[in-house]
Chains A and B, each alone.
Chain A
C-alpha cells in the first residue's frame, strides 16, 4: 500500500463523490462498489447515489469519449465499473420507490453484434430512471414485436454499427406501421454510422449521437407524449 493511498471511508461526502467520478473515469470497479456501499451506509438514498456519483461520473466519461480523449477500451472499463455500482443499487432503487421516467425496449438489429454503445445507453437510461428491457444483439423484427407486446414500453430503441445492418431499422419500423402500432411507441435509433438524415428517412422519432443525448431526448419525448395523451384525454 502506498502512502498516498486514498481511504474512501475517510473522505467527506463531497470528496467521496468527486473521488468516485475519478474512479469511474479510471474504470476502477471495486472502488466504485466500495464507494456506493459507503454512501449507502451514510444513509444516502440509492437514487441520489446513482445520479450524483455514477451517472454524473459517466457523463464526464461520455464527454471525453466524444471529444476523442478517451477511447473504446477506457469507456468499456468505465462502463463495467458503473455496472458494478448499479448492481448494488438496482434492487434498492425498486424498494425505495425511485422516480420512474418511462420504459424502454432496446436491442441491436439483426446481423449486428456490436453492443458496447447499446449497453452504455441502457445503463444511462436506467440511471435516469427508465426501466430498460435489453434484447441484446442480432435481433430480427419478430424479437422487437414480441417485446413490444410483452413489455408495453414507451420507447423502442434500436442500435446498429454497420452500414449493412442500419437499413434493417426501416424493416422494423415499416412492420410496425403495417401492424398499425408504429405510433404507439417513440422510436429512437443510434449507432456511430447513423445520422439525423438517416433516422428521418427510416421514420424514427429521434436519432441520438450518444448516451447523454439519448437520456435528454428520451425525457423530452416522454414529456411530449404525456402532453399529447393528456390533451387527448381532455378532448375526449
Chain B
C-alpha cells in the first residue's frame, strides 16, 4: 500500500490512478473519481478519518463514461477481500444507470446523484437551480484548478478557439460551486467564465453531500474495527 498522502500530493492529473492509504488500519475503502481525489483526501485529513483508505480511477474516464462501470467493478473486485466495506464516490456520471447495476451486483454503496455538481450543491438545490435555467455551466474547484487541461485542451479550444460558441453558445452563466474558499481560485474561475464568453456566478457549496457520504464511510471503517 502506498504511503499516506498529504493534500499537496493529491492534485491528480486526469490520467492518474492513485491510492491514498489511511493513517490507521483501514477496514473501509472509498473508490473515487480522480476529479474528487484532492477533496476527499483533504476531507479525511481534516476530520481524522483514520480508518479509511482511498483509491482513485483516472478522472479522464469522465469523457468516456461507458468505460466507468467496468473500471469501477475491477477496482471493487481487486479490493473486496481486503475491506469490510467499500464506498464508491462517483455520480452516475452519464453511465445511464449502468454504474448502479455494478454497484448492486457487487453489493457496495455509491454516493447518491447523477454527477458531482449535484452532490456538491445538494440534489434538491441543484435541481432547483437547473430546473429554473438549464443554461448554466458548472465549475468545481477541481475544474478551476485544471481548467486549461480539462476545458481548453479537452474540448480542443487551444487548437480551434472558433469552436467555443459551438460548445457554449447556448449557455448564459458559468457557476463556480466552490469546495474551499480561496481567492486565487475564485479569480481563476471568474477569468474562466470570461474565456468561455459567459457571465459569472459564485456559490460556495463546500463538500455538500460528499461530507455525509464520507462520514458514513468513515463510520463503517471504524465499526468494522482493526483487523
A-side residues, CB < 8 A to B, are: 27, 68, 71-74, 76-77, 80, 110-113, 115-116, 137-138, 161-164, 166, 192-195, 198
Whether the Cβ atoms of A161 and B94 lie closer than 8 Å is yes
Would you list which residues of chain B between 140 and 170 have a CB under 8 Å from chain A?
Answer: 155-157, 159-160, 163, 166-167, 170
Whether the Cβ atoms of B94 and A162 lie closer than 8 Å is yes
Cα(A77)–Cα(B98), bound, Å: 30
Cα(A71)–Cα(B131), bound, Å: 30
B164 to chain A, nearest CB (A): 11
Residue of B nearest to A119 (CB): B166
Would you list which residues of chain B between 95 and 140 have a CB under 8 Å from chain A?
Answer: 95-98, 114-115, 118, 127, 130-131, 134-135
Main secondary structure of the interface of A (DSSP, over half): loop
B171 interfacial contact with A, CB 8 Å: yes
Cα(A194)–Cα(B114), bound, Å: 14
In the complex, which of the residues A111, A116, A161, A198 contacts B131, with contact meaning CB atoms closer than 8 Å?
Answer: A111
A140 to chain B, nearest CB (A): 11
B92 interfacial contact with A, CB 8 Å: yes
Indicate whether A194 sits within 8 Å of B160 (C-beta atoms), given known contacts A72-B155, A113-B170, A163-B114: no
Tally of A-B Cβ pairs under 8 angstroms: 67
Residue of B nearest to A116 (CB): B166
Whether the Cβ atoms of A76 and B166 lie closer than 8 Å is yes
Whether the Cβ atoms of A163 and B97 lie closer than 8 Å is yes
> Which A residues touch B118, using CB under 8 A?
164
Given contact pairs A163-B94, A164-B118, a sample of 11 additional A-B residue pairs in the complex whose CB atoms are under 8 Å apart: A68-B64, A72-B63, A72-B156, A73-B156, A76-B156, A76-B163, A76-B166, A112-B134, A161-B94, A193-B92, A198-B97
> Which A residues touch B95, using CB under 8 A?
163, 193
B67 to chain A, nearest CB (A): 9
The 3 closest A-B CB pairs, nearest first, are A73-B156, A193-B96, A163-B114
Whether the Cβ atoms of A138 and B134 lie closer than 8 Å is yes
Cα(A191)–Cα(B154), bound, Å: 20
Cα(A194)–Cα(B163), bound, Å: 26
Whether the Cβ atoms of A198 and B155 lie closer than 8 Å is no
Whether the Cβ atoms of A71 and B156 lie closer than 8 Å is yes
In the complex, which of the residues B63, B92, B130, B163 contacts A77, with contact meaning CB atoms closer than 8 Å?
Answer: B163
> Which B residues touch A161, using CB under 8 A?
94
Whether the Cβ atoms of B114 and A80 lie closer than 8 Å is no
> Which A residues touch B171, using CB under 8 A?
113
B105 to chain A, nearest CB (A): 15
> Which A residues touch B134, using CB under 8 A?
110-113, 138
> Which B residues touch A166, using CB under 8 A?
96
Whether the Cβ atoms of A192 and B94 lie closer than 8 Å is yes
Whether the Cβ atoms of A113 and B114 lie closer than 8 Å is no
Cα(A230)–Cα(B135), bound, Å: 45
Of B95, B96, B155, B156, most buried by chain A (CB within 10 Å of CB) is B96
A58 to chain B, nearest CB (A): 16
A191 to chain B, nearest CB (A): 9
Cα(A235)–Cα(B69), bound, Å: 50
Residue of B nearest to A136 (CB): B170
In the complex, which of the residues A72, A137, A164 contacts B114, with contact meaning CB atoms closer than 8 Å?
Answer: A164
In the complex, which of the residues A73, A110, A162 contacts B160, with contact meaning CB atoms closer than 8 Å?
Answer: A73
> Which A residues touch B159, using CB under 8 A?
73
Residue of B nearest to A110 (CB): B134
A214 to chain B, nearest CB (A): 18
B101 to chain A, nearest CB (A): 10
Whether the Cβ atoms of A198 and B96 lie closer than 8 Å is yes
> Which A residues touch B156, using CB under 8 A?
71-74, 76-77
Residue of B nearest to A27 (CB): B160
In the complex, which of the residues A110, A164, A193 contacts B65, with contact meaning CB atoms closer than 8 Å?
Answer: A193
Whether the Cβ atoms of B96 and A163 lie closer than 8 Å is yes
Cα(A116)–Cα(B156), bound, Å: 14
Whether the Cβ atoms of A80 and B64 lie closer than 8 Å is no
Residue of A nearest to B98 (CB): A195
> Which A residues touch B84, using CB under 8 A?
none
Cα(A73)–Cα(B154), bound, Å: 8
B66 interfacial contact with A, CB 8 Å: yes
A67 to chain B, nearest CB (A): 12
> Which A residues touch B115, using CB under 8 A?
163
Cα(A163)–Cα(B65), bound, Å: 11
